[in-house]
Amino acid sequence: MELKKTLSTATLLLASTFVLAACGGTDTETETESSVAASSEVVAESSSEVASEAMAELQDGTYTLVEKNFDTRGWKTEFSITVVDGKITESTFDNVNEAGVKKSEDAEYQANMAEKVGVGPADYFPQLNNQLIETQDPEAVEVVTGATHSSDTFKEYAPLLIEAAEAGDTTTIEIDNVVEE
């Protein structure tokens, strides 16, 4: 008799637990959804705060980088960015020759390159510069098809200018580039 009473009590207790758990399921889901929503808000706030902090780190000014040596074709890179209110507002990446002529303004070079690969410096230099202004992130700048070498150089040098802007150091960065013969 004692065993029947214990089994009945245990069964009743177990059944009550299942009923209460089933009734409480909706509240648990609501709590979980609320927790997930709150967590998402915190993550979203954190992400935007990090992005804002990264942008706020750039000091206003113009930052310039130049290569010391002309390559075998007679060109060297000159690159500058202008930061206003903590954002890159201007980017001028181009190559110049010994006479100071920009590659993007050399009509003959443009025609020859565009004929061979479908794109020339008058096309790809503005693309690279605009991408940096739009994305504010050198890593987000995509390689321009047909201008891989220039794109790679851009992606190598842009972070150096960002570092200078973060430090507020407007001293011209000189790159002692190796010229292969």
CATH architecture of residue range(s) 61-175:
Alpha-Beta Complex (3.90)
pTM of the entire predicted model: 0.69
Tell me the domain boundaries of the chain. 1-56, 61-175
Residues in the chain: 181
* Backbone φ, ψ for residue 118 (5° rounding): 90, 0
3-55 residue pLDDT tens: 455 555 555 555 555 544 555 544 444 444 444 444 444 444 444 444 444 44
With CA atoms as reference, report the closest residue to 95 among 32, 136, 147, 53: 147
* pLDDT computed for residue 175 by the predictor: 97
